[in-house]
Amino acid sequence: MKMKKMFGKLLFGLAVILLTITGAHAGEVLKVGLAPPLTGDMAAYSEAMGAKCMADMINKKAGPNDITVDLTIEDSRTDPQLASSIVQKYLDAGAVMVHGICWPDSLIPVSKMAEPYNAFVFSAQTTEVDMHDMKLQNFVELPAPDDVAASAMASTTYDKGARTAVIFTSEDGGSWTAKTPVWFGEAFEKLGGKVIKKLNHAIGTTDYSPQITEIMNIKPKLPDAVYVCSVVPDVGILARQLIAAGYDGWVVGCDGFDDPSLNATVGSNEALSQVMFSTHMATMPGTPAGKFLAECKDAGYNVHSVFDVLGGDMMKILVEAAKIAGTTKDGMKILKAIQTHDKFELMSGGTVSFKEKGTWPVRKIPIIGFKDGKRFVASSEVPSFIPHSK
């Protein structure tokens, strides 16, 4: 009788262990804290509403044994110090993934703040190479870095017949505005093109007359392309004023162009046909990203851009990685699952894997052009030459 009781206790203990193993995710909550710029200069590039839309979709579909997402969002007003203060609250409350503003002066300190909490930073927007140069152990980003996108843009520009280019640089936006144009130039010249002039600009410029005068006075022939990486409405204003001055070449740039307001800022469909830019995915109606944006809009979420879709993909990856890692509480295990998993299915374009690069995925870079005022994918490739990131 005693042996039966002991055997029964043993079986019960084994059953409890098995239940604990097989039910590791049952009803578990993944805590995430975002401090995005819902207002201020970078508000157009927030991922927050797309992340919220996807988190709510995940929670709505979740069964009793599925992971749910506890997503907290608070406006950092494009203030890095405020973002750090908000993130500290999230970490103290048990968040395993946090994010601030998509500039290194926000994300680097936020990453360091997260280290003692075994938490990590997952960015759906930042593309600056500084984040990889720092060799941070608890950071990963969903977009490809700026130099990769610049190389893809250079390849398409060259394929369209451009052989000379002018680049615009600015120190106002870190390496994004200062170095991305230089990397475009490096890739362009490696293909056989030539950068014939480098001009400076400031974020917030509304009158580019001095720079345009310099361009229009270039002899014996105007440049085939002008490249700038900056924010809206600035890039649209530059394109409009340059084309109005009689420039008939390409105006090309980076993901800063990727906002619906670009069309109205540039003005006419004819002017838009001279514009191309690199981005992270195609968001036109009918694409997976376009369908996601439409579904979120119908549900009342204020989504509008590529960054909202990246925010949605970020949430999908987080939940899948938590399942793979077998935890919603250990941020570094979740990060390791992201960096070692073979591939993640994305709305923003097929599948990606972080296995090769660790902190960023190798992925195709879509180049968006315009025809009759409508966007189309002019090319989509993984560039073979990368000027900076290794």
Query: Would strands 250-253 and 225-228 be described as parallel, antiparallel, or unpaired?
Result: parallel
Between 332 and 384, the higher pLDDT residue: 332
| Domain assignment present for 285 | no
Average pLDDT over residues 106-114: 96
| Domain assignment present for 388 | no
Give the ranges where 245-369 is alpha helix by DSSP (H).
Answer: 262-266, 269-272, 288-298, 306-325, 331-340
Query: Would strands 344-345 and 275-278 be described as parallel, antiparallel, or unpaired?
Result: unpaired
Q: What is the DSSP track for 165-188?
A: EEEEE-STTTHHHHTHHHHHHHHH
| Domain assignment present for 44 | yes
- Residues 246, 377 share a domain: yes
Average pLDDT over residues 20-40: 77
Residue 19 pLDDT exceeds 70: no
Residue 25 pLDDT exceeds 60: no
Residue 325 pLDDT exceeds 70: yes
Per-residue model confidence (pLDDT) at position 41 = 84
Joined together, the tokens standing for residue 350 give 């097929």
- Residues 139, 150 share a domain: no
Average pLDDT over residues 183-195: 98
| Domain assignment present for 320 | yes
Per-residue model confidence (pLDDT) at position 388 = 85
- Residues 250, 206 share a domain: yes
Residue 6 pLDDT exceeds 70: no
3-state secondary structure of 140: strand
Per-residue model confidence (pLDDT) at position 69 = 98
Per-residue model confidence (pLDDT) at position 178 = 96
- Residues 161, 122 share a domain: no
- Residues 273, 191 share a domain: yes
Is residue 40 left, alpha or beta, with left meaning phi > 0 and alpha meaning psi from -120 to 50? left
- Residues 159, 80 share a domain: no
Between 315 and 345, the higher pLDDT residue: 315
The one-character DSSP state at 145 is P
Residue 24 pLDDT exceeds 80: no
Average pLDDT over residues 321-339: 98
Per-residue model confidence (pLDDT) at position 2 = 41
Q: Are 148 and 361 in contact (CB under 8 A)?
A: no
Describe the crossing of helices 288-298 and 306-325 by its angle, rounded to 10 degrees: 100
Count of domains observed in the chain? 2
Average pLDDT over residues 157-183: 96
- Residues 242, 377 share a domain: yes
Per-residue model confidence (pLDDT) at position 349 = 61
- Residues 188, 91 share a domain: no
pLDDT confidence band for 348 (50 / 70 / 90): low
d(CA 390, CA 132): 9
Lowest-pLDDT range of 16-25, 144-153, 279-288, 346-355 = 16-25
Shortest CA distance to 208 belongs to which of 177, 188, 235?
235
pLDDT confidence band for 382 (50 / 70 / 90): very high
- Residues 155, 220 share a domain: yes
| Domain assignment present for 390 | no
- Residues 164, 75 share a domain: no
In this prediction the pTM is 0.86
Average pLDDT over residues 89-106: 96
- Write out pLDDT tens, residues 207-257: 999 999 999 999 999 999 999 999 999 999 999 999 999 999 999 999 999
Average pLDDT over residues 33-48: 93
Joined together, the tokens standing for residue 268 give 């006419």
Tell me the CATH number at 314: 3.40.50.2300
pLDDT confidence band for 27 (50 / 70 / 90): low
d(CA 273, CA 90): 45
Mean pLDDT over each residue of the chain, to the nearest integer: 92
User: Tokens 């994004």 appear where?
Assistant: 176
User: Tokens 């990856």 appear where?
Assistant: 317
Query: CB pairs under 8 A, 24+ apart, for 204-208?
Result: 204/172, 204/234, 205/234, 205/237, 205/238, 206/237, 207/241, 208/237, 208/238, 208/241, 208/242
Average pLDDT over residues 292-313: 96
Q: Which domain holds residue 138?
A: 10-144+303-352
d(CA 179, CA 185): 10
- Residues 212, 266 share a domain: yes
Query: Would strands 275-278 and 365-371 be described as parallel, antiparallel, or unpaired?
Result: antiparallel
Phi, psi at residue 284, to the nearest 5°? Answer: -65, 155
| Domain assignment present for 296 | no
d(CA 320, CA 42): 29
Per-residue model confidence (pLDDT) at position 3 = 42
| Domain assignment present for 249 | yes
- Write out pLDDT tens, residues 71-82: 999 999 999 999
- Residues 84, 158 share a domain: no
Phi, psi at residue 225, to the nearest 5°? Answer: -150, 145
| Domain assignment present for 291 | no
Per-residue model confidence (pLDDT) at position 21 = 34
Cα 17–chain centre separation: 41
